[in-house]
Amino acid sequence: MKEPGIPENEALRLATLQSLKVLDTPPEERFDRVTRMAKRMFRVPTAVVSMVDENRQWFKSAQGLSLCETPRNISFCGHAILGDDIFLIKNALNDERFADNPLVAGHPNIRFYAGCPLRAAGGVKVGTLCIIDSEPREFDQDDATALRDLAAMVEDELAAFQTANTDELTKISNRRGFMHLAQYGLNFCVRHQQPAALAFIDLDRFKPINDTFGHAEGDLALAAFADVMCASFRATDLFARLGGDEFVVLLTGANKADALAVLEKFGRQLDEYNNKAQRGYRLQFSCGVVEFDPLSGDGIDELLAAGDAHMYAIKAAKREMH
């Protein structure tokens, strides 16, 4: 078996994939519609939208396949993203790169594979739309054209997904994107009996920044705050701008003490930004941290409400001190 190589632009490719905020999100009709169409058009048992992450291929949509991911080092899609057009294997048993591949020797017993690379912004290849059969088969130019057309539909949906779930000003998740991903994260914690903590964050004295320096400076302050969040929080943390000067962070696999330690680090990095930027004001925040109990039955709405209430209590106490 030959493992897929690593693209020359791998660092950029992985960063682009992460920026889509699509990994580990629930199934969606917009993608399932395309894979159903591909399965029907090509009369294959399996059609998949696959995202090639650092160590795995993860399936945003999979028709005829019960798996949600497989290791990248045995993936056909890992090979497909190395090329610019459809990667085609008519009979995997006759191909020395794949004849002893676990996905060929065992479930799902791949014989035929055709995968069209999916491109994100800048033409970076993040995954594939692929069709799979357990029997060898032919694939002609008309088939290739049809698969490329369907792949273009997936690319359009990926772009729309990113736009709909990203805050235009700060380039991090918006409320819609956060709610979408956060509930999925909490469900994961319930299944695996893992802790989670939510931090509801509100900028202190943001209105005076707008009033004194103007709204353009206020926008710059919000964007800078989000940039420090990106640099400070862990890759596994989900953070977003809920609206206005309100932000949120969901830390899965972390209890309240862990979350407070992460937020202390964030506060230090924000101080470093303030000292370096010298904008005439300092970015500071109040934060309410609540711990998620996987046995409680609470969802993201309840966790947000508790974090919001805790944050406002802390903010009120600050005002009384001044």
Could you report the per-residue pLDDT of 128-146, keeping only the tens digit for each? 999 999 999 999 999 999 9
| Structure confidence by residue, pLDDT tens digits, 173-186 | 899 888 877 887 78
The distance of Cα 44 from the centroid of its chain, to the nearest Å, equals 29
Cα–Cα distances in angstroms (integers) from residue 86 to residues 139, 148, 274, in the given order = 11, 8, 49
User: Is 250 strand, coil or helix?
Assistant: strand
| Structure confidence by residue, pLDDT tens digits, 46-91 | 999 999 999 999 999 999 999 899 999 999 999 999 999 999 999 9
Look at residue 36 in the predicted model and tell me its pLDDT.
96
Question: In which band, very low, low, confident or very high, does the pLDDT at 97 lie, cut at 50, 70 and 90?
Answer: very high
Alpha-helical regions (H) of 98-237: 102-105, 141-165, 175-191, 206-213, 215-232
118: Cβ contacts below 8 Å, ≥ 6 apart: 49, 125, 126, 127, 128, 129, 151, 154, 155, 158
Look at residue 322 in the predicted model and tell me its pLDDT.
60
Residue 187 has pLDDT above 90, yes or no: no
Tell whether omega for the bond before 7 is within 30 degrees of 0, i.e. cis: no
For each of the domains in the chain, give its residue range(s) and CATH number, in order of start.
10-164 (3.30.450.40), 175-321 (3.30.70.270)
Mean of pLDDT values over 273-282:
94
Mean of pLDDT values over 259-278:
95
